[in-house]
Structure 1
């Protein structure tokens, strides 16, 4: 904890030094103010034409107030047209009528509010695309252009090409659809400089768009249920429910925009609703992400529960909640940006705070990442017997921060997941077989024929035993030491767990002792121990009998060395009864 606090203090000290050094350098060098700083302190334009967004908002307000002379001051006009007041008013009215009939501006939040305009588009610097007008003959792109010279305050106006294209359209006094069907009283009476009838139609179109979108969604779901076989399943129903509400919201927005634009609702109303429309679109997308997160979380948890991976459920829940927090956070930032709030300063502060938090909680983050790695790779599970470095034990739980093991001494060892994921893990529970590898040391007096007998009979035992895996066992005379003749045995035991393998190994060793006893020799004692009177000499009779047996095998070409006859192997397989005669068998009770 003290180390983390020191790191935080060091980080803030370095940040303070960096900021201070930057200010000091600027003062020592006497750096001139940048053009952006000069523009920021330039005199304000009374019509708000310093940015593309200000120009559009000012123009909308002017035509909403029906102050067409002021609206014309947002145009690039020739000197001749500018001198004619009537001509300026006529152009402004034509512009408004075209916008009402089939035009639209980009939402205010999307239009640049910087004096240098947008620099991330394909247009030349100082030119921004802010909307379009669709007529029966052509589509007019609406551009605003910065008319100021270098190092002068920006002045954004509708470009001369845009005004020329608008003037060339002959509308012949055409009225919009609404102006033709609405009573004069609803047109003449105004609310917010907009005819009351237009507001009423907006409300009606909102309801109609919502109901029509519901009908479309109902039809789409009905068709899906007919053509998609899995639609009636739990998974299919969850997918359909996840997409229904967001898609319906999108359809409502699209239908509302299409209806209001084609019916000729005033551009003043539609521009005011543009922010609401984009906000609804963002909310619909966030709801879709939220529901997809719920669906994935539910589906994954169900699979983990069926597989018995209880430890993974907590990680899934944590990741689901973290994702939802991120969705809410991103949504708040996006909506604030659409409304017009500058979130860059807040994001910078959150970035610094995030770095500080990461430095202070790096161990926690390391353990969380480690837990995710353990769940994804699954090197161990609850109930597995494993060894982590020099610790052996059974896994009792896998948490988000640490994993607990119970040792053979019945103690609990807690290992942080960050450390565990970086450790060497040996999992004994995932063994598909158990090795049987005794090394037998026989007395030096053991004859070669006795060794041959032992090699054949020991291998025969492994072939015949039903719990030894059906693969060629290895029984080899591997060396002569100072005090013994060494025979090494290697085979694999079929067993479901360690305890069962120990039982089978015990049976094999007992049977091997019987074979050694029958051979007439015995195991060698360690050379450090001295046996005088108690030493039992090898049996000469048994040794002679073994020699006769080996001789008979040789005469009949039945000596199974260095390899066994495959026919003999097939005869031996399963010929031993396990458990042995007289043993308690739980399967019989």
Structure 2
């Protein structure tokens, strides 16, 4: 994977930042603040010392122009000996020299541009830390301090503690760069800095990238040797995704460490700090970009293998959305790195996002619904289901809606947002089919006839091969105004709905035979006036049923309230299904896995 957009972003960012003047960030920031803040305007300071960022920028600009008297006005020089101009110049030059040799200043954009300074650090109010200097195994913290009273405009200067430490610090005679550069490159200056420093920065940029490339390549090679999985397509793609971003970030880290130890001028390092931070941001965004591509390709392949074609459109949409979010976040981060106040832009973006969300509420609801349908999988293409009052087979699951084909062969389109919040009854994933008829018998039915019916229907369910191997429930559940009620509960074992219907049909026919054999009949569902003579129950069959129950009782074989497990084993699978005379041939019977006596 070699995405072009991250490289394009990085090139554009480098070109724009290289063309920006040093104080462009401060000017952009000031322009933005003047439009957004409603606080009363304070009298501007001619040296720009109202904020910590303005003080640092002003000091760096003054030493770059070699105006050391002006640079000393950014320092707290409270001692009497510091009042001499020569001493003030000495301290400003010493400060510059220490920063060049072993100093580390924060990136301009990370220094506070508010009169109050930073309020979220551990320092007291009115004090900000903007860098450090390491000399003779001693660390000098660079502090800025607000010298004004609370009711007056802020005036930020380098603190007396920092200035005293700088005045007493030991300064090395020469840096590594001073020793290796020829005199011509040290004497000729560009922007207040020897030309040699600029040339070394350019050379160091190339060298640091080459060193980072070599380190990352070596690590990748070692991984392939010691880890066999690193040679697989999946792991190779992950290593490839991390390769360039890690290389850029490592090059930035090596560049910062090397230039500080070589003694590159603080002026050059401070100007390049914005570009360095931007490259670090771009490398991180590039990593996110590549991981989004890698994850979407892997997920899309998995969905294709599983046959979940409807999920691919959602994956592609999420990948595009993620990339758009990465680009927006990258632009905001880069603008913040170069010092542009993005608060107003974020506020406008938030308001626009709210307006867009309100306008596209239904669209977003349907999209979220489609994502939840694909994630939870309550239904799939080809499933027969019931949504509300609608029954049908799922034809397709799209980004906005799902289509069902009803039994009347019509197409019903249901928005995914509505579908995700509806009750979905899916018939396709049933592992068994419920057989639950409620039988009502005539009021004339005798207790022994009911016992006969209960035993024979249970025996039917135990012995039928189409019934799941669980104890069936056949209970005399009550007496209504016009009938005796018996409820049957068992489960049919079948692969499809059509197979279950076949078994259910056979069971109902056999139950009708049992009812006829008992001598009673099913009750009428309503009251009926008969003008003809009612023959009533069959006396002969009633006597036979009662004799049969009597024999069961005498022999101790009445299978109530439960069946004897031994008797269950004896009759299990003893019914021929389908019945003799059916068009189903023995070969088909074997395919149905049906046992016959």
SS of corresponding position for 2:96 = helix
**Counterpart for residue 88 of structure 1:** 88
Q: 1:493 to 1:168 in 2, by over 3 A?
A: same
Of residues 190-199 and 250-259 in structure 1, the stretch that sits farther from structure 2 once superposed is: 190-199
Change (3 A) 1:72 1:444: closer
Deviations 1:130-171 (A, max 9, x none): 111112321111111122233333322111110111111122
**Corresponding residue number in structure 1 for 2:567:** 568
Q: Is the contact made by 2:42 and 2:153 (CA closer than 8 Å) also made in structure 1? A: no
**How far did residue 537 of structure 1 move?**
6.5
1:136 aligns with 136
Does the alignment pair 1:53 with 2:53? yes
Corresponding position of 1:486: 485
1: CA distance, partners of 2:524 / 2:80: 124
Residue 239 of structure 1 aligns to a residue whose secondary structure is helix
The residue number in structure 2 matching 1:347 is 346
Superposition deviation, residue 481 in structure 1: 4.2
Q: C-alpha distance in 1, partners of 2:554/2:472?
A: 26
Moved more, 333-342 or 542-551: 542-551
Report if the CA contact (8 A) 2:141-2:162 is conserved. Answer: yes
Match of 1:218 in 2: 217
Instruction: Tell which deviates more after alignment, 243-252 or 471-480.
Output: 471-480
Aligned mates of 2:448, 2:192 — CA distance in 1: 118
2:440 is the alignment partner of 1:437: no
Deviates more, 1:287-296 or 1:253-262: 287-296
Q: Using the alignment, how far apart are the partners of 1:229 and 1:530 within structure 2?
A: 89
- Give the TM-score taking structure 1 as reference length: 0.87
Number of paired residues?
552
| Structure 2 unaligned blocks of 5 or more | 1-36, 592-597
Alignment partner of 1:233 is 2:228? no
1:102 is matched with: 102
Residues 43 and 454 (structure 1 numbering): CA distance in 2 closer, same or farther, change over 3 Å?
closer
Q: Relative to 1, partners in 2 of residues 1:525 and 1:74: Cα closer, same or farther, differing over 3 Å?
A: closer
Matched residue SS, 2:208: helix
Cα distance change on mapping 1:77 and 1:558 into 2, 3 Å: same
Question: What is the CA deviation profile of residues 478-518 of structure 1, one whole-angstrom value per residue up to 9, with x for unaligned ones?
Answer: 33445443322111112233222111111211222233344
User: Are 2:312 and 1:313 equivalent residues in the alignment?
Assistant: yes
Structure-1 residue corresponding to 2:155:
155
Determine whether 1:292 maps to 2:291: yes
Residue aligned with 1:409, SS: coil
| 3-state secondary structure, aligned to 2:113 | coil
Partners in 2 of 1:287 and 1:424 — Cα distance?
Answer: 43
Query: In the alignment, which residue of structure 2 is the partner of 1:42?
Result: 43
Quick one: distance in 2 between partners of 1:393 and 1:84? 95
Match of residue 13 from structure 1: none
CA–CA distance in structure 2, aligned partners of residues 132 and 358 of structure 1: 47
**For residues 77-126 of structure 1, what are the alpha-carbon distances to aligned partners after superposition, in whole Å with 9 as ceiling and x for unaligned?**
13533432222222122212211111121111111122222222222222
Alpha-carbon distance in structure 2 between the residues aligned to 1:578 and 1:284: 72
TM-score (norm 2): 0.86
CA contact (8 A) 2:77 2:83 kept: no
Counterpart of 1:74 in 2: which secondary structure? coil
Cα distance in structure 2, aligned partners of 1:86 and 1:441: 117
Structure 1 gaps, min length 5: 1-34
* Structure 1 range deviating more: 513-522 or 549-558: 513-522
Distance 2:347 2:422 in 1: 38
Classify 1:577/1:270 alpha carbon distance in 2 versus 1 (closer, same or farther; 3 Å): farther
Correspondences of 1:107-506 after superposition (within 5 Å): 107-171=107-171, 174-228=173-227, 230-506=229-505
In 1, Cα distance between equivalents of 2:571 and 2:227: 58
Query: How far apart in 2 are the matches of 1:485 and 1:350?
Result: 72
